């Protein structure tokens, strides 16, 4: 039979324990806590009775919340822990949960009215502290702004408006800053070191701070990536973030949208390491061509960190002669996807000597002309040329790979496109002019030549680089390019889990501050995912169920932590253990 025992400790406190008799001896089942005041003792006794169950003799917590009788604390005149006694309250008041009156005070002999224990609040401070641990381990505490940190954590847990962020922080067990303070924090996040900062009651310069928050975070991200992994190869991609606004301005403009939106937007470029950890972010006007964004971002990154030798990987959208020449001039290596339409020129020798025949997994290492007007690949020579910077000054190195699986997928896509084109020509479907439909003498017809050319190239994927074959084999070029899914995953996280869009900011500074918060949150989220192996959404969902309860009793308040099951504890332990990035493959 379990019972509650109180033991005086050597420090003068009173320990409350749950014990049981085993073979005539007392065995401690659970240590509930130690009380230094009469009020704390009353709270611990209530907690102990909850663990025992309604009759005071039940088993320990089995996951079932039991209602317990109110326990009244009778305070003595001496003020010490040796005088008061705890008695179970009786009468109608105890059953109803209201305040009760207990007679025969320990010292005064008078009746004392004691309030019932109440849960006044619950919060998910365990989740908050876990994410703050990741934030701190990345070195972001060096920013020295707790309000900024809270905004980042809130963005990870439940992305919402700045006005609603106070609610999220309160649920995380934080006392949120005022809305005005949050706005001033965002202003500090993007302030130039020489610019004055409005702090409400005074205006001051940024003092000893020499870099903006984003510059600091970017520097810390780079240091983390260098310490735990490899930044010799970085991945780059762009996306668009649209606004809930009608009018354009100098930054928010209507431009190309893969989703065919006509809202004002901005173009955002993101540079990450090969594991998807963010290193640099930048934004451009909404009508900026994607191909013009890569050079400014990469140059800012190399200048910030004095990087002399690195490989930049990007998709075919970045393939422009101007871009590649600019990167090569900066002594940077690149790997970009090639457009399939360039295959006939690059593989002219193969098509002449081997026709359309390819074997699954076949790789052809050759050259590609920087300009179609100056090809250096001679189809009369059967062997493919080996790219040499000094010899092939008008070309880059090209690697082409054939996959039977890709060929089957491409063939299926082409068949669907052909069927759609025929349906539009026959008038069965009304749609914008699809692929393989052309107009001749005022009549829409199927472009048989283009369709045949496309079918000839199914299964082929090309890669353009300025890295010589003796430095990086073709297989490594291909595998490095395939790491691009990491940056795409980071963009998906920023758009979905962190809800970077739609954006409601109106000024350029507010937009930059928003991107700084998202960039920092993305770094914390990526690191949390790396440590636990769970998506950030799943991780938050599992840990958000751990709610601490704040209980008020006898005029005092105490917070009781939640019970943590082994699976949740394993996640919390994993978040405290940094994992090194995988080294370059």
pTM for the whole structure: 0.70
pLDDT at 582: 44
* Residue 263 scores a pLDDT above 70: no
pLDDT at 454: 92
81 and 143 in a common domain: no
State whether residue 409 is helix, strand or coil.
helix
Reported as a single tens digit per residue, the pLDDT across 309-325 is 788 988 877 767 888 88
State whether residue 269 is helix, strand or coil.
strand
Report, as an integer, the average pLDDT of 416-428. Answer: 88
* Residue 78 scores a pLDDT above 60: no
> Over 302-341, what HEC string results?
HHHHCCCCCEEEECHHHCCHHHHHHHHHCCCEEEEEECHH
164 and 141 in a common domain: yes
144 and 183 in a common domain: yes
Half-sphere exposure of residue 4, counting CA atoms within 13 Å on the CB side? 24
Half-sphere exposure of residue 152, counting CA atoms within 13 Å on the CB side? 30
pLDDT at 2: 83
83 and 10 in a common domain: yes
Among 305, 308, 282, smallest CA distance to 293 is for 282
* Residue 292 scores a pLDDT above 50: yes
147 and 85 in a common domain: no
192 and 133 in a common domain: yes
Query: Is residue 450 situated within a structural domain?
Result: yes
pLDDT at 282: 85
User: What angle do the packed helices 146-157 and 125-137 form, to 10 degrees?
Assistant: 120
* Residue 51 scores a pLDDT above 70: yes
- Distance (Å, rounded) from C-alpha 254 to C-alpha 243? 10
58 and 116 in a common domain: yes
* Residue 59 scores a pLDDT above 50: no
Report, as an integer, the average pLDDT of 246-257. Answer: 57
User: What angle do the packed helices 213-228 and 294-305 form, to 10 degrees?
Assistant: 80
* Residue 245 scores a pLDDT above 50: yes
Of 421, 438, 454, the residue that ends a domain is 454
Among 544, 538, 512, smallest CA distance to 525 is for 538
pLDDT greater at residue 96 or residue 22 = 22
198 and 150 in a common domain: yes
115 and 147 in a common domain: no
CA distances to 313, 346, 352, 465 from 395, rounded to whole Å, are 18, 10, 20, 10
* Residue 495 scores a pLDDT above 80: no
113 and 61 in a common domain: yes
Query: Is residue 580 situated within a structural domain?
Result: no
State whether residue 17 is helix, strand or coil.
strand
pLDDT at 157: 93
Query: Is residue 259 situated within a structural domain?
Result: no
69 and 40 in a common domain: yes
Would you tell me how many other CB atoms lie within 10 Å of the CB of residue 354?
13
Q: Which of 51-60, 143-152, 261-270 has the lowest mean pLDDT?
A: 51-60
* Residue 142 scores a pLDDT above 80: yes
Among 480, 528, 463, smallest CA distance to 230 is for 480
pLDDT at 527: 94
Q: Which of 67-71, 527-531, 576-580 has the lowest mean pLDDT?
A: 67-71
Query: Is residue 492 situated within a structural domain?
Result: no
* Residue 208 scores a pLDDT above 50: no
Query: Is residue 437 situated within a structural domain?
Result: yes
Query: Is residue 419 situated within a structural domain?
Result: yes
pLDDT at 249: 56
Average predicted confidence (pLDDT) for the chain: 79
Residue 209 tokens read as: 């701070």
Half-sphere exposure of residue 388, counting CA atoms within 13 Å on the CB side? 5
29 and 85 in a common domain: yes
Per the structure, the count of domains in the chain is 3
Query: Is residue 353 situated within a structural domain?
Result: no
DSSP one-letter string for 209-222: --S-HHHHHHHHHH
Domain that holds residue 107: 2-122+548-567
* Residue 332 scores a pLDDT above 50: yes
Percent of the chain clearing pLDDT 90 (strictly above) = 35
Compute the CA torsion angle 133, 134, 139, 142 (nearest 10 deg): -50
* Exposure string for 68-98, b = 16+ CB within 10 A, e = fewer: bbbbbbbbbeeeebeebebeebeeebbeeee
Residue with tokens 């379990």: 2
State whether residue 428 is helix, strand or coil.
coil
* Residue 166 scores a pLDDT above 60: yes
Query: Is residue 222 situated within a structural domain?
Result: no
Confidence of residue 87 (pLDDT cuts 50, 70, 90): very low
Reported as a single tens digit per residue, the pLDDT across 351-369 is 999 888 899 999 999 999 9
């Amino acid at each position: 039979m379990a019972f509650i025992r109180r033991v005086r400790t050597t420090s003068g406190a009173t320990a409350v324990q749950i014990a049981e008799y085993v073979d005539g001896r007392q065995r401690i089942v659970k240590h509930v806590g130690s009380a230094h005041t009469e009020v704390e003792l009353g709270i611990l006794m209530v907690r102990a009775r909850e663990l025992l169950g309604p009759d005071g003799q039940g088993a320990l917590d089995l996951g079932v919340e039991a209602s317990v009788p109110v326990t009244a604390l009778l305070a003595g005149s001496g003020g010490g822990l040796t005088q008061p006694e705890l008695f179970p309250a009786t009468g109608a008041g105890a059953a109803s949960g209201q305040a009760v009156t207990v007679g025969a005070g320990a010292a005064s002999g008078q009746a004392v009215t004691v309030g019932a224990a109440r849960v006044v609040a619950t919060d998910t401070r365990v989740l908050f502290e876990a994410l703050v641990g990741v934030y701190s381990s990345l070195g972001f505490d060096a920013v020295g702004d707790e309000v900024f940190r809270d905004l980042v954590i809130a963005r990870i847990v439940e992305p919402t408006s700045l006005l609603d962020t106070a609610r999220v922080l309160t649920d995380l067990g934080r006392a949120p800053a005022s809305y005005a303070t949050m706005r001033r924090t965002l202003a500090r996040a993007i302030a130039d070191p020489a610019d004055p900062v409005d702090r409400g009651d005074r205006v001051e310069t940024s003092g000893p701070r020499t870099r903006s928050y984003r510059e600091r975070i970017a520097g810390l991200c780079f240091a983390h990536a260098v310490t735990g992994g490899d930044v010799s190869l970085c991945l780059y991609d762009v996306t668009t973030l649209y606004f809930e606004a009608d009018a354009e301005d100098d930054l928010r403009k209507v431009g190309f949208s893969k989703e065919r939106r006509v809202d004002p937007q901005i173009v955002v470029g993101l540079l990450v390491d090969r594991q998807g950890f963010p290193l640099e972010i930048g934004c451009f006007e909404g009508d900026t061509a994607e191909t013009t964004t890569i050079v400014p971002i990469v140059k800012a990154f190399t200048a910030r960190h004095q990087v002399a030798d690195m490989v930049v990987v990007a998709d075919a959208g970045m393939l422009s002669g101007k871009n590649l020449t600019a990167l090569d001039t900066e002594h940077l290596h690149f790997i970009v996807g090639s457009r399939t339409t360039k295959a006939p020129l690059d593989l002219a020798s193969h098509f002449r000597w081997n026709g359309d025949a390819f074997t699954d997994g076949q790789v052809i290492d050759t050259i590609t002309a920087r300009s179609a007007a100056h090809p250096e690949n001679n189809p009369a020579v059967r062997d493919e040329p080996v790219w040499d910077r000094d010899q092939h000054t008008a070309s880059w190195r090209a690697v082409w790979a054939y996959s039977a699986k890709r060929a089957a997928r491409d063939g299926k896509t082409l068949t669907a496109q052909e069927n759609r084109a025929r349906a539009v020509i026959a008038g069965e479907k009304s749609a914008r002019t699809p692929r393989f439909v052309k107009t001749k003498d005022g009549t829409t017809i199927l472009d048989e030549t283009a369709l045949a050319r496309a079918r000839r190239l199914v299964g082929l994927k090309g890669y353009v680089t300025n890295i010589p074959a003796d430095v990086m084999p073709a297989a490594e070029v291909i595998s490095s390019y395939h790491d691009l899914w990491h940056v795409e995953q980071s963009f998906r996280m920023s758009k979905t889990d962190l809800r970077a869009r739609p954006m409601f900011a109106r000024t350029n500074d507010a937009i930059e501050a928003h991107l700084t918060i998202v960039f920092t949150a993305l770094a914390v989220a990526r690191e949390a995912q790396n440590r636990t192996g769970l998506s950030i959404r799943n991780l938050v969902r599992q840990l958000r169920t751990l709610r601490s309860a704040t209980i008020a009793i006898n005029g005092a308040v105490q917070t009781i932590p939640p019970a943590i099951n082994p699976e949740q504890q394993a996640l919390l332990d994993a978040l405290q253990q940094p994992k090194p990035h995988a080294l370059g493959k």
